[in-house]
């Protein structure tokens, strides 16, 4: 079985600034991969490169054994919540239906009966059928995010890419989204970018740690050395409301010249 994604020696520059440098990553079909790393570490850039939304300086990307142009329809994308305009006067149904729009489709082209059927299926799949005519400005953060997931699903992708899907939602909505993604992963491959290291490590089947370069790709359990390499300095990771989990051994703490604390 060919991998869902093969990234080889990938580098991306924004002007003179390095966003990604010599990244090699293979994502197998059926994998649920979480990508973590510091702000500016290239997580979103990697997703955009896979989607062909940013030019690459070097390297190659294969999607299910072919080029992006050949297999673009196999991809579904959920962008960052903050990048979406919520005040536009459009209903939830219309947003999801727009995910059926084909590349090169004319402005006044009509949607087909199949387009509408797939839209209804996607709404039912994520539990939002009862909100089909609600304006997007009236949706809660969790409802809005699930709508974006449905819009990505309506094209029936084999690979779903999500950029910080839980960043702007409350704890209840976050739990619902993770439960939804776990269910979706039974049939499709998922790549999820997140800053929430503790949460996604308990959800995904594998992790990729990215800070311009790929620091780690493997199982969801991380050690202190990997996390320190990821953030470029010693790290203390503490979870509030849970048994405290500190990655760095306390016996070495007094030796640290500087450290970075991630608190959840």
pLDDT at 190 over 90: yes
Q: For residue 57, what pLDDT is reported?
A: 93
pLDDT (tens digit, 9 = 90+) per residue, 217-257? 998 876 666 666 666 544 444 443 444 343 444 344 333 33
Q: What is the DSSP string of 142-203?
A: HHHHHHHHHHHHTT--SEEEEESTTTTS-HHHHHHHHHHHHHHTTTSEEEEE-S-HHHHHTT
For residues 171-194, average pLDDT: 94
**Which tokens in the block code for residue 132?**
């089909």
For the chain, the residue count is 264
Of the pLDDT bands very low, low, confident and very high (cuts 50, 70, 90), residue 70 is very high
Confidence of residue 25 (pLDDT cuts 50, 70, 90): very high
Is residue 37 within 8 Å of residue 230, measured between CB atoms? yes
Sort strands 206-211 and 189-193 into parallel, antiparallel or unpaired: unpaired
pLDDT (mean) for 121-142: 94
**Tokens 């196999």 — which residue?**
74
Instruction: Please report the pLDDT score of residue 195 as a whole number.
Output: 80
Q: Which residue has the higher pLDDT, 67 or 252?
A: 67
């Amino acid at each position: 079985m060919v991998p869902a994604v093969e990234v080889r020696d990938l580098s991306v520059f924004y002007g003179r600034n390095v966003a990604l440098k010599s990244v090699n990553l293979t994502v197998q079909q059926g994998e649920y991969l979480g990508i973590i790393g510091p702000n500016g570490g290239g997580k979103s850039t990697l997703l955009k490169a896979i989607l062909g939304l940013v030019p690459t300086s070097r390297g190659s990307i294969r999607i299910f054994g072919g080029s992006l142009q050949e297999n673009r329809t196999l991809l579904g994308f959920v962008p960052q919540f903050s990048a979406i305009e919520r005040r536009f006067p459009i209903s939830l149904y219309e947003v999801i239906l727009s995910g059926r729009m084909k590349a090169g489709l004319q402005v006044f082209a009509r949607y087909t009966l199949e387009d509408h059927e797939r839209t209804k299926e996607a709404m039912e799949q994520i539990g939002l059928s009862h909100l089909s005519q609600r304006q997007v400005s009236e949706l809660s953060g969790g409802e809005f995010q699930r709508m974006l997931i449905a819009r990505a699903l309506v094209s029936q992708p084999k690979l779903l890419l999500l950029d910080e899907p839980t960043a702007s939602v409350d704890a209840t909505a976050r739990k619902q989204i993770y439960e939804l993604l776990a269910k979706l992963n039974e049939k499709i491959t998922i790549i999820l970018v997140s800053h929430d290291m503790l949460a996604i490590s308990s959800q995904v089947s594998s992790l990729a740690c990215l800070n311009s370069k790929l620091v780690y790709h493997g199982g969801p359990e991380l050690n202190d050395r990997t996390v320190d390499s990821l953030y470029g300095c010693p790290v203390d990771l503490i979870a509030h409301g849970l048994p405290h989990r500190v990655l760095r051994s306390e016996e070495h703490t007094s030796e640290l010249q500087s450290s970075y604390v991630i608190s959840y």
